[in-house]
Structure 1
Amino acid sequence: MTAAERATRTREADALCARAFDDAGCPDSGVALVAVGGYGRQELSPYSDLDVVLVLDDGVEPGAWAAGLWYPLWDSGVEIDHAVRTLAEVLERSGADLRVALGMLDARHLAGDPNLTLRLRTAVLAAWRRDARLRLPELRRLGEARAGRLGELADAAVPDLKESVGGLRDGTVLKALVASWLVDVPHADLERCRQGLLDVRDVVHSVAGRSTDRVTPEYWPEVADLLGLADATAAQRHTRALARRLTHISRLTWRRTDAVLRRPRTSGARRPQLQPVAPGVAVAHEEVVLDRGTAPSSDPLLLLRAAAEAAERDLVLAPATAARLARETPPLPDPWPAGAREIFVRLLASGPGLLPVWETLEETGAVDAVLPEWSRVRLLPHASVVHRFTVDRHLVETCIEAAALIRRVARPDVLVVAALLHDIGKGGRTEHSAAGEPIARLVARRIGFDDREVDLVAGLVRRHLLLPEVATTRDPDDPATLALVTTQVRDREELDLLAALTEADARATSEKAWSPWRAELVTGLVRRCGAALQELPPPDPAPASVVVPDTVRSGAEHLVVEVEPRPAGSLVRVFGRDRVGLLADAAATLALQRVSVRAARAWTQEVGGRDVGVSEWTVEDADLDAAVLRQRLEAIAAGRVDPADRLRRPGPTRLEPIVVVRPEASARATVLEVRAADRPGLIHTVCRALAGLGISVRSAHVSTLGPQAVDVFYVQEHAAGALTDRRAAAAAHAVRGALAESVAPR
């Protein structure tokens, strides 16, 4: 089935309509027969209806010929959807009913007065363009309603080629958006997808022997044969690829339409205003693009950075930018540097903003540059009907679900990478968990995880079905049930990761896969296994020691900053007379300089009978001036600069911060564990809140894992020991409140 055959069907239908018009004795002036909808677009499938309207000029009364026109069409056996309207009635109905307006945008002359058809088309298009800003929001709502009913063609088990998201209806809507003159689309891609889906629909009509847009599973083998494809899976992948591309074009066009509708009307073209948001990356008209003067060939992290910024900000990653970066960005080394892995984790943990960005990476070929293993599962249908998405889409959805659970785990970076890879073994003959483990191990090692982290990722992929299988098929009170889990899961950290992955996987599968009953069974099993895996508290960290500068030893200088170059960044050391608030000031200094902190630790060191506060900061910035940092630190310490307002970030975070007291973690200090969205000034906010209570930070262990900071603070009463339970609770409350306040809207 080809466009040529559709053209032949259209010519035959046109001839039939013109002959009926002439035989009925319709007037040649003031009356026109027009095709609308799919017939107007010349897209007739074997069993399509003919949508036609007999249009009368204002003042023309219909005679017997208006009724006689339809009899020969009915007698021919063709299904017709017909109406008789005056020109004024057509325009009125188009203005009142959006569906009628869409059909009339494709009006095509069949017989009668061509001037009347021309006036009709001109008036319909003029009204559409005039009222577009008012009508497009309604058109958007209609599309969202269709999506809620039918889902996405690329992922549905029984797709609707016309009404599903990414189907032929969306192709028609895109043409209407272009007709509004507000936005444009990539026409070649749009037409390729539309014509491809029309070919599939023609074949489905032939297989079914009737008019239908739904492709049931038993149709796929014959569809494949008629399309000249290898098998049913190839036919599904072909169809779903067309739909996914059309879905991407549609989402991108609607995002751009929404941006246009939000902007005030202007006369003339507006030059995009670039707002730099990261090295080499800027935002223009709500899309992430390259900043001026950026050379992709000089920065191997640029593709990942642009994608992460777009996903975290829930903005469009401009397809032209993604395609250029995929072509020109140098390949990442094997293994990746730590900075690349951190950006990749930020992308995966960005939440709902991940999906449109990942689609752009897919459609521009950029995913293959980052994760070549993705081709194994691209557009792969799930064997189980319980899944609502194809395998690749399910993996992305699992990442989105996992992003909401990262506060529960100590290693969110491991969680989201395992979420992306947990079904990567599907599509072969080997059980997919077993097949996926070596692939996950290879990917985890390449992106820069160490041996233990590689084992964690691979183990999660291998055992991602363990908890639901055991919870739903074994007696929870039988000791052997716990043994099934605890003999395979090494420690509580891995159990927590497996529990979060299980929930994310189930939620991404379908609502039924994470029912309250199933959730309760899994949660109960995890609770019992956690008690069995309870470990002894870790020992207090060994005290650190470095050479303190002579000027600090002698008391000649109160504050000293040293910068030591390191691969892919620097190590910053801050020395000063030990006091409550010193660490907060050091953290503020780096935050105000927009220095990106990857890790930090702090301690008190006795030198010559006096206590010296020391902190070390591993940062991404390679070009730092110690003198500038010291000058800023002294201004903050002296109270000349208050960093609080400058570090306030507008808008709430997606996940609330978690602050927990760990009484079992140390015998000499009170341990506060803080998990919060990584951002400038986070460490300063925590330390300042503690200093406000007169609590001293004796040791700090800070790490950034993708989008989440996991910071552990060993705190004491100044010149004393661990906090009382009451003081510990007050400290946790103060830190939690400070973090919440620091991200509240102004």
Structure 2
Amino acid sequence: MQDATQDRLPELLLAALADCGNVAAARAAMREADAALADRFREGADITELVHLRATLVDKLLGWLWDRHGPLNGIGIALVAVGGYGRGELHPCSDIDIMLLTSSSPDESQQQLIAALVTELWDLGFDLGHSVRTVEQCRDEARADLTVATTLMEARLLRGPENLFAEMVSAVAAPDIWPSDRFFEAKVEEQRARHHRYDDTAYKLEPNVKGSPGGLRDIQMIGWVAKRHFGAATLDELIAHHFLSQGQLRRLREGQAYLWRVRFALHILTGRREDRLLFDHQTNLAELLGYEDAAYTLAVEQMMQRYYRTVMDLSRLNEMLLQLFEEAILLDPDATPEPLNERFQVKNDYLQTANDQVFSRDPSALLEVFLILQQRPEIRGVSAWTVGLIKRHLYLIDESFRQDPRNHRLFLQILRAEEGVTHQLRRMNLYGVLGLYIPAFGRIVGRMQYDLFHAYTVDEHTLFVVSNLRRFALNRFDHEFPHCSQIMQSLDKAEIVYLAGLFHDIAKGRGGDHSELGATDAQAFCLEHGMSEYDAKTVAWLVRHHLLLSMTAQKKDIGDPDVINEFAGLVGDKMRLNYLYLLTIADVRGTNPKLWNSWKATLFRDLYNLTVRALRNGLENPVDRAELIQDKQETAMQSLLDDGVSESSISEAWSLLTDDYYLRYRGAEIAWHTQVMLRSDLNSPKGFFDVRRQTSGDGLEAVLYTPRTKRTFAQTTSLLAELGMTIVDARIVPLKNGYSMDTFVFMELDMRNDVDEARLERIRNAIRQVMNTTDDSAKPVTRPPPRQVRMFSTEIAIHFDEDIASRRTILEIIAGDRPGLLSTIGQAFIEYGINIDTAKILTIGERAEDVFYIMDENGKPLSQKTCDALGDHLIEKLKRQS
């Protein structure tokens, strides 16, 4: 059968079934047929034929099985295919949904016959869904349950009495069972809820081919509504009803065919019903579908870009067609339009063109649409016909359109509006206008980056960034990020940061530095749109340096005044700092919401405040260490005095602290550490510790006071990793008495802020083990890395530098993020007699980019010989771990 031509497969299966004496042989014959289908798929056979062919093969097999159960014939029972199988569409591992339709409730003997049939169906190895119903039960259940009604609408008779099947079809199609208006409203609500389960975006890293927005369910949705309202058996019939053009039907068919190919390949690869484009499958799937790596784009990225662009187009068609149905089913076709101007009017609360020639006569109306929607928020949207008209006139957005001063004014008006900026940018992207007006943006539509850090496609991420910035500007969102809202609402020209957000990643995937390329694009765009040279350069500077603040906060020691002074010198003035601060927070939150946490917020805020202070002093008057220390001491002192601690007790504890300690911690942290010291034995040979929930954050923080000879970093990070915590900060500061203050900030892996007291006590017990052990070695971490992380291989990179001012060595390690990574590094430090001063822990998706400020046992920077040996040792240990 492997060599059989596609159209002979059903006959060959029938011949094989005729020779079958039992179900096991029939199952083997079907497996062989499925293998032939997979071969045909790999050879590039038409996917529509393959999907329908598999349904035909199952028809033949079920027919053979039905005939084997001869007593079922002639007793008023019909075998009916329902759901996707009823449509005649089956993928290699799809559910086989059937119904046994009976003329009356089956008696005991009939129940036994049905049970025997169903048992053999299971024995065939199908993922079977089945029900037994009478016509009356079909009607009652369809009336009560929309899902049942939808399933039965797609029923197809396989075997049994035709009149019984016709009776059922008539019963569930009765006008009182889900009339088209109620059916439409319920289905729209069902789709809305389904989209919400997928975060209302098709651009997730691991989308669902079937259920995500723009997926196969959205195409089926159109068919269901068409069938209920028009009785249309196929989408082709919508052309006669003027609901689809030939071009739109072609795009629907092409989109469905692409998604079918993806789903068919998923089933072949996994050997099961799998609709999720998991990282586990994406690379192999791209190879199976024929993609190859290119100069700047991986094969998997090309495949996913095609996928995302397909579902975007299908989402657009779904929205337009459902709106057409709404206008036909729910709205008043004779409503009187309200003229807005000579180009646009409002009918049934939807914006529409005054006539079919509006865009051809005045192409600028293609932008005016979105401005009107901003100015008239009571308008529900754009009429479906007008959406189609926009699509047919997109060719007008050419170079002359982009150079037209009127269009420049319209676009900036949209960007400067008080309300609806993000909403209209999203609509412009959905309708295809934004990517044509800004061609560089068009090149990132649907572009994904194959990693775990970027949760969305580049265009979707970009629009999330602008959306986050917009929320800072609107008073009703002040409670979310009060500090950002305060800064944003004080800006004279908010459009500068919106444009920076729009262009910050616009050069992704071109090769070269995307920040530099994007800055060039941004400056040219701003100048073309009549902005001043100063404002254009500001936007370009923000794009060029959009990673500067986050990388400084997360990878450098911002307790070091030299770092602050250097950063302040790069920023130059407070206006740029304000713009950069807002852009950074909006960018990080828009990259992957799960990776945003209170610790990052604190780091960014600290860097902002320290830089404001440096800029206030003037770049010619660098931040002074003594002044910083004094400020922190005053803050901590006041807090402690307010809590009733005596000044003499504070002075006693602080006599052990060094200037480096004060530079590393905030005033509130110093006050907590002081409280812990005052209630403990400062001469304890084991030391002491405390753990608490962060007072202004989502995580936990631990402070360990231990003899300097005790190495706690490897052991503490090991135990916390085994407990499923992720460490975001570590600082180890020597004190004057031979002890050290080690602090860790950590969170649950999923960043949840619901650590209960029992969980907190387990963490305390784990740290207590560290304090009590006399062994320096750390226990190995047995917890496996998350599934997604295991799909990536990050090249290990080790880089040493010297912090001359603070007399420390800076070690940067890039490696795949794995549980126990920090403990492995810490163990290597113990073996080489290295002391950690500060650790900057940064996880970027599947990559760990950690920076350690370290010294030898004598408190000096590492020699070149030690750096070389340590680097080789770390690479060897990390390779074994990966």
TM-score after normalising by structure 1 = 0.65
Q: Which amino acid in structure 1 is aligned with residue 381 of structure 2? A: V
| 2:343 maps to which of 280, 300, 320 | 280
Matching residue within 94, 103, 109 for 1:48:
94
Supply the distance in 2 between the matched residues of 1:510 and 1:307 (Cα, whole angstroms). Answer: 28
Does residue 320 of the first structure (1) align with residue 407 of the second (2)?
no
1:424-461: per-residue Cα shift (whole Å, max 9, x none)?
Answer: 12113323223322222232233332311221111111
| 2:309–2:445 contact (8 Å) kept in structure 1 | no
Q: Structure 1: which amino acid aligns with 2:507?
A: G
Asked if residue 343 in structure 1 is aligned to residue 415 in structure 2, the reply is no
Counterparts of residues 242-641 of structure 1 (less than 5 Å): 242-254=310-322, 263=331, 270-271=333-334, 273-277=336-340, 280-292=343-355, 295-310=358-373, 313=377, 315-317=380-382, 318-328=386-396, 331-332=399-400, 335-337=403-405, 339-348=406-415, 358=425, 361-362=428-429, 365-406=432-473, 407-534=489-616
1:605-684 correspondence to structure 2 within 5 Å = none
> Which amino acid letter does the alignment assign opposite residue 589 of structure 2?
R
Q: Aligned partners of 1:164 and 1:190: how far apart in 2?
A: 16
Matches of 1:227 and 1:298, distance apart in 2? 44
Give the AA of the match of 2:370.
A
1:154 equivalent to 2:202? Answer yes
1:578-597 superposed Cα distances (whole Å, 9 cap, x missing partner): xxxxxxxxxxxxxxxxxxxx
Q: Distance in 2 between matches of 1:316 and 1:254?
A: 13
Equivalent position to 2:81, from 24, 30, 35: 35
**How far is 1:380 from its partner?**
0.8
Counterpart AA for 1:400? S
Q: Which residue of 2 is the match for residue 662 of structure 1?
A: none
Aligned to 1:94: 142
1:23 aligns with 2:68: yes
Alignment match, 1:672? none
1:362-405 deviations in Å (ceiling 9; x for gaps): 46543343111123212111344233310011112222222223
For 1:56 and 1:438, the matched residues in 2 are separated by 72
Letter in 2 for 1:289: Q
Secondary structure of the residue aligned to 1:81 is: strand
Q: Name the CA shift for 1:353/1:126 in 2 (closer, same or farther; >3 Å).
A: farther
Percent sequence identity over aligned pairs: 26
Secondary structure of 2:273 counterpart: coil
Contact 1:272 / 1:285 at 8 angstroms: preserved in 2?
A: yes
SS in 1 for 2:191: helix
| Structure 1 residues 51 and 330, CA gap change in structure 2 (3 angstroms) | closer
Structure 2 residue matching 1:487: 3-state secondary structure: helix
Cα deviation, residue 112, structure 1: 0.8
2:389 aligned partner, one-letter code: T
Query: In 2, distance between residues paired with 1:191 and 1:358?
Result: 28
Tell me which of the two structures has the higher relative contact order, counting C-alpha pairs closer than 8 angstroms and 6 or more residues apart. Answer: 1
1:229 partnered with 2:291: yes
SS in 2 for 1:126: coil
Deviations 1:550-581 (A, max 9, x none): xxxxxxxxxxxxxxxxxxxxxxxxxxxxxxxx
2:256 to 184, 189, 194: 194
Q: Residue 156 of structure 2 aligns to which amino acid in structure 1? A: R
Task: Look up the SS of the partner of 1:181 in the other structure.
Answer: helix
Pair 1:102–1:123, CA change in 2 (3 A): same
Q: Which residue of 2 aligns with 1:6?
A: 51
Report how many aligned residue pairs link the two structures.
Answer: 530
Deviation at 1:501, TM superposition (A): 1.7
Task: Pick closer, same or farther for the CA change 1:384–1:77 going to 2, 3 Å.
Answer: closer
Contact 1:153 1:167 (8 Å CA) reproduced: no
- Listed one character per residue, the Cα deviations across residues 508-560 of structure 1 (whole Å, up to 9, x for unaligned) are 22334442332233233323333444599xxxxxxxxxxxxxxxxxxxxxxxx
| Structure 2 Cα separation of the partners of residues 356 and 113 of structure 1 | 54
Classify 1:323/1:472 alpha carbon distance in 2 versus 1 (closer, same or farther; 3 Å).
same
2:394 and 2:512 map into 1 onto residues whose CA distance is 32
Q: Which amino acid aligns with 1:521?
A: L
- Cα separation, 1, equivalents of 2:427 and 2:167: 41
The CA deviation at 1:87 is 1.1
Work out the CA distance in 2 between the residues paired with 1:295 and 1:275.
16
User: Could you say what the CA RMSD is over the residues aligned between the two structures, in angstroms?
Assistant: 3.2
TM-score by length of 2: 0.55
Q: For 1:196 and 1:426, how far apart are their aligned partners in 2?
A: 25
Task: Select the residue among 205, 221, 243 that pairs with 2:267.
Answer: 205
Name the counterpart of 1:214: 276
- Please give the secondary structure, in 2, of the residue aligned with 1:405: helix
Instruction: Tell me the SS of whatever aligns to 1:221.
Output: helix
Moved more, 270-279 or 380-389: 270-279
Query: Structure 1 residues 289, 328: CA separation in 2 closer, same or farther (over 3 Å shift)?
Result: farther
Deviation at 1:45, TM superposition (A): 0.8
Change (3 A) 1:13 1:131: same
Give the 3-state SS of the residue equivalent to 1:379 in structure 2: coil
Cα shift at 1:56 = 1.0
Q: Once the two structures are superposed, what CA deviation does each residue of 1:197-252 show, in whole Å capped at 9, x if it has no partner?
A: 11110001111122211122242233223323332222212222222222223344
CA displacement at 1:36 relative to structure 2: 0.9
Q: Secondary structure at the match of 1:282?
A: strand
How much does 1:355 deviate?
Answer: 6.3
Change (3 A) 1:140 1:352: farther
C-alpha contact 1:335 1:448 (8 A) present in aligned 2: no
**Deviations 1:463-497 (CA, angstroms, capped at 9, x unpaired):** 11222222233344433233333222243322222
Query: Which consecutive unaligned segments of at least 5 residues does structure 1 have?
Result: 537-746
Superposition pairs for residues 104-119 of structure 1, below 5 Å? Answer: 104-119=152-167
Counterpart residue identity of residue 11, structure 1: T
Asked if the contact 1:35/1:52 (under 8 Å) is kept, the reply is: yes
Confirm or deny: 8 A CA contact 1:322 1:361 kept in the other structure.
no
Structure 1 residues 241 and 202, CA gap change in structure 2 (3 angstroms): same
Residue type of the alignment partner of 1:172: Q
CA-CA distance at 1:502 after TM superposition: 1.9
Q: Any idea what the Cα deviations from partners look like across 1:586-641, whole Å, max 9, x if unmatched?
A: xxxxxxxxxxxxxxxxxxxxxxxxxxxxxxxxxxxxxxxxxxxxxxxxxxxxxxxx
Contact residue 440 and residue 507 of structure 2 kept, 8 A: no
Cα gap change, 1:481/1:262 in structure 2, threshold over 3 Å: closer, same or farther? farther
* Secondary structure of 2:570's aligned partner: coil
| Letter of the structure 2 residue corresponding to residue 192 of structure 1 | E
Cα contact 1:349–1:399 (8 A) shared by 2:
no
The answer (yes or no) to whether the contact 1:300–1:332 under 8 Å persists in 2 is no
In the TM superposition, what is the alpha-carbon distance from 1:74 to its structure 2 partner? 3.0
CA shift, 1:111, in A, is 1.0
Q: CA deviation at 1:462?
A: 0.9
The residue type equivalent to 1:217 in the other structure is F
Instruction: Check conservation: 1:302, 1:325, Cα contact below 8 A.
Output: no
Moved more, 445-454 or 132-141: 132-141
Distance 2:567 2:343 in 1: 47
How far off is 1:308 after superposition? 2.6
Q: For the residues of structure 2 that align with 1:413 and 1:353, how far apart are their CA atoms?
A: 13
1:424 counterpart letter in structure 2: I
Q: Is the 8 A contact 2:214 2:311 kept in 1?
A: yes
Amino acid at match of 2:262: V
